Amino acid sequence: MDLIFFRIAVALYLAASVGYLGFLLLSSRSSAPIPFWCAVAGFVSHSLSIVHRAVFSGFFPLATPFDVLSFFAWLVVGIFLLIRYRDPSPIFGSIVTPLASVVMIYASTLSYQIKEPLVPVLRSWWLPIHVTLALLGNGIFAVMAIGGLMYIFQERLIKKKRIGRLHRLLPSLETLDTINRHGLPLGFFLLTLGIISGALWAGSAWGVYWSWDPKETWSLITWFAYAAMIHQRMVLGWRGKRAAVLAILGFCLVMFTFLGVSALLGGYHTFGDATRFLRPSGI
Amino acid sequence: MEIVVIGLNHSTAPVDIREKITFPGDEEGKVTHTLRELEGVEEVVLLSTCNRAEVVALTVDVEESPHRLVKAIGDIHGLEPSAFRPFLYVKTRREAVRHLFRVASSLDSMVLGEPQILGQVKEGYRRATKVNATGPILNRLMHRAFFTAKRVRNETGVGNAAVSVAYVAVELANKILGDLKTKRILLIGAGEMAELAARHLNSQVEQPISVANRTYENACSLASELCGEVVPMEELNAGLVRADVVITSTSGRDPLITKEQFKQVMRRRRFRPIFIIDIAIPRDVAPEVNDLDGVYLYNIDDLQGVAEENLGERRREALRAERIVAEEVTKFLDWTKSLDAAPTIVALKERLEQIRRDELSRLNGKLSNLNPQEREAVEMITRSIINKIAHNPIIFLKRTGKSSKRNLYLDTAQRLFKLDGPPASPQDGDEEPHRQ
């Protein structure tokens, strides 16, 4: 019962995915609004599910891996719905809605039991600030990577002179490069704020701003990677295909920092195990 | 009473016949009116484009009326019917309806899926309504034709892909550079195809087009014609740096642009993407230029290949469109069948009886304390009320059998009592404004 909105949202996102797929196969213009409104309805239900979790836990629902992934999917769908106003081509939806569905189905296999009482460090206002900034940055990087992938496909089709349905469905190279051009500084800015807010939170919780926890280290590596990307784009004029490839590689790094580090390297960002929150390792 | 289509088009008649049958003077519907006045012709719509001339008519008898119409067409154009009779097709009933729906949906066009035809059909209909040449059947028929065309356009890709070289070039430019408004075009050389492509692109661009030519005077005259500016051939590289779309069509022997040279250009452009259309034969641009990052080089064969492939795609989509047409034809014919006095009267009686029963069952709660006799009385009163209401309309409809306005009355009765389709559904019949 407590996941009812979440399940409805997953069902609607899946319905939108199927609808978008049907659209891609049939190129029927009149059916395009259906998956979009499914996605909107899913987003509303998803929002309700997050509100519900917040009421349930009495605080921002970001304390379990389930909640963090759910929130991440929510942000990605939200960014997609915003972008859709600028570029109504349905192909973005046909990637974002399945992606959100997969992330959410994966999330629902993870622990969503909120431990009572919540560890004090998670009762801080820094929690929503830090997590929202970090995940919003990740969401932007995700959209950039999707745009990059489409850029590489579209550019290849045009170069090889294979002008078919897929070519027409994909947005123009210019549009896709614009996503990269706007996304890069914005995502980088959010990542920077995410790292700073994390450090401030650590400072207020434990009195130490930076303790070279694996997540911190990898965030810093990610930060340098995107800083380098900005340099290539702004100074050397890298755009188009090169920028697209970098966006995809950068996002692989982001995903490793986001999911891989906790799973493989541990550290106090491992949400499942509350004891780790008591003291950062090495202090 | 049957629907008949008489016409000729690009596949049945050569151009010297087509150019003779144009229904001159129909701008105000005069010709339509003349044909409407013919004996046995109830309703008429004329359709005339550069590729077709068609008469859509509702006639009293399928055997005689086409002959009269053909003769009248001959009289209008001052021709003997035998001069164009062999090129005509005469379609009746289902075939006629199907033909009209296919024409409106652009499935019968010379360029499959071209969008102008629907407007031309609408124009023909507008003229016919202006001189009151249409009635309930053709009104319905034309609106269903528009509706079918809309469905075909929305549900299939029959009008999607560009099928002419110039439009392929415009579409590609859009896919590479996005909105072309702020982009710059450079035209090198001259030639019919190059100028055509340049004109198409130029209509989407706000910046003046640049023109380069080995002969300075030619460049000047072409530039002034296209409201553009001249780039001297010596400054070609600077022009290439500024341009976003380049169309080349010189008649030189040696390649005008080499890979090494263009590498420099790309660096100076800071790798802004560029779309090059090479129409010259032999080619102006070395093919290896396409390997450079951000350069998209298409020659005339490439563009033609794309156009042909797109046409193949339209043909595949047309198969799906035919299914939509078949569906709509059946729907329309079902409606014409219902336009008969007997089924209309039955439907009217049923509708009234249904209203009576619905209202009684709604009041069931209040009527529950009546005794059986009182109940019986209520039944009787209500039944007699609806019978009285229905009496005159039914007599009237029964008498319309031979009247020339029979279709109108039957149609009106159906609309007044909403006899076609389920009650209270705003579907189908409602979207057409009724003209009469």
pLDDT tens per residue across span A21-80: 887 777 666 566 788 889 999 999 999 998 888 887 777 778 777 888 888 899 989 988
Distance CA B344, CA B51 (A): 41
Tokens describing residue B137 = 């059947």
Chain B residue whose CA is closest to A169: B175
Residue A9's pLDDT band, with cuts at 50, 70 and 90, is: very high
Contact A163 B296 (CB under 8 A): no
Please report residues of A whose CB lies closer than 8 A to that of B313.
Answer: 164-165
Give the residue carrying structure tokens 């009576």: B356
pLDDT of residue A118: 62
pLDDT of residue B36: 85
Q: A with B: how many residue pairs have Cβ under 8 Å apart?
A: 69
Please report residues of A whose CB lies closer than 8 A to that of B290.
Answer: 159
Contact B154 A29 (CB under 8 A): yes
Sign of the four-CA dihedral B403, B404, B409, B411: positive
Average pLDDT of A232-236? 87
Contact B302 A239 (CB under 8 A): no
Give the residue carrying structure tokens 């700073």: A196
In which element (H, E) is residue A213 found? none
Distance CA B247, CA B201 (A): 10
Chain A residue whose CA is closest to B276: A159
Please report residues of A whose CB lies closer than 8 A to that of B176.
Answer: 158, 172-174
Chain A residue whose CA is closest to B267: A237
Distance CA B139, CA B432 (A): 9
Contact of B287 with chain A, judged by CB distance below 8 Å, is answered with no
Please report residues of B whose CB lies closer than 8 A to that of A237.
Answer: 270-271
Label each residue of chain B as H, E or C.
CEEEEEEEECCCCCHHHHCCCCCCCCCCCHHHHHHHCCCCEEEEEEEECCCEEEEEEEECCCCCHHHHHHHHHHHHHCCCHHHHHHHCEEEEHHHHHHHHHHHHCCCCCCCCCCCHHHHHHHHHHHHHHHCCCCCHHHHHHHHHHHHHHHHHHHHCCCCCCCCCHHHHHHHHHHHHHCCCCCCCEEEEECCHHHHHHHHHHHCCCCCCCEEECCCHHHHHHHHHHCCCEECCHHHHHHHHHHCCEEEEECCCCCCCECHHHHHHHHHHCCCCCEEEEECCCCCCECHHHHHCCCEEEEEHHHHHHHHHHHHHHHHHHHHHHHHHHHHHHHHHHHHHHHCCHHHHHHHHHHHHHHHHHHHHHHCHHHHCCCCHHHHHHHHHHHHHHHHHHHHHHHHHHHHHHHCCCHHHHHHHHHHHCCCCCCCCCCCHHHHCCCCC
Lowest mean pLDDT, pick from A102-116, A227-241, B123-137, B281-295: A102-116
Chain A residue whose CA is closest to B293: A241
All residue ranges of chain B with pLDDT < 50 are 423-436
Contact A28 B160 (CB under 8 A): no
pLDDT of residue B429: 40
Q: Find the CB nearest A167 among B175, B271, B298.
A: B175
Please report residues of A whose CB lies closer than 8 A to that of B310.
Answer: 163
Residue A272's pLDDT band, with cuts at 50, 70 and 90, is: very low
Contact A178 B178 (CB under 8 A): yes
Distance CA A226, CA A185 (A): 9
Distance CA B238, CA B246 (A): 13
Q: Could you give the C-alpha distances from A99 to A146, A153, A178, A262, B374, in angstroms and in order? A: 10, 18, 22, 21, 68
- What value does the CA radius of gyration of chain B take, rounded to a whole number of Å? 31
User: Which residue of B175, B204, B301 to mutate against A (max A Cβ within 10 Å)?
Assistant: B175
Contact of A86 with chain B, judged by CB distance below 8 Å, is answered with no
- Residue B386 neighbours by CB under 8 Å, 6+ apart: B352, B353, B355, B356
pLDDT of residue A4: 86
Q: How far is A173 from chain B (nearest CA, A)?
A: 5
Please state, for a pLDDT cut of 70, what percent of chain A lies above it: 86
Please identify which of the residues B14, B19, B25, B50 carries the catalytic annotation.
B50
pLDDT value at A210 more than 90? no
pLDDT of residue A165: 78
Distance of alpha carbon B272 from the chain centroid: 39
CA B392, B394, B395 angle in degrees (round to 5)?
Answer: 65
- What value does the CA radius of gyration of chain A take, rounded to a whole number of Å? 20
**Dihedral angle at the C-alpha atoms of B249, B250, B254, B259, nearest 10 degrees?**
-40
Contact of B292 with chain A, judged by CB distance below 8 Å, is answered with no
Contact A240 B273 (CB under 8 A): yes
- The count of other CB atoms within 10 Å of the CB of residue B160 is 18
Chain B residue whose CA is closest to A159: B296
Average pLDDT of A205-214? 84
The verdict on ipTM greater than 0.85 is no
Q: Are B300 and B281 in contact (CB under 8 A)?
A: yes
Please report residues of B whose CB lies closer than 8 A to that of A158.
Answer: 172, 175-176, 296
Sign of the four-CA dihedral B335, B338, B340, B341: negative
Residue A282's pLDDT band, with cuts at 50, 70 and 90, is: very low
Contact B293 A240 (CB under 8 A): yes
Please report residues of A whose CB lies closer than 8 A to that of B157.
Answer: 27, 165
Residue among B193, B148, B203 at smallest CA distance from B170: B203
B50 is a catalytic site residue:
yes
Please state, for a pLDDT cut of 90, what percent of chain A lies above it: 34
Taking only residues 209 to 268 of chain A, the set having a beta carbon closer than 8 angstroms to any beta carbon of chain B reads 237-242
Residue among A223, A234, A146 at smallest CA distance from A191: A223
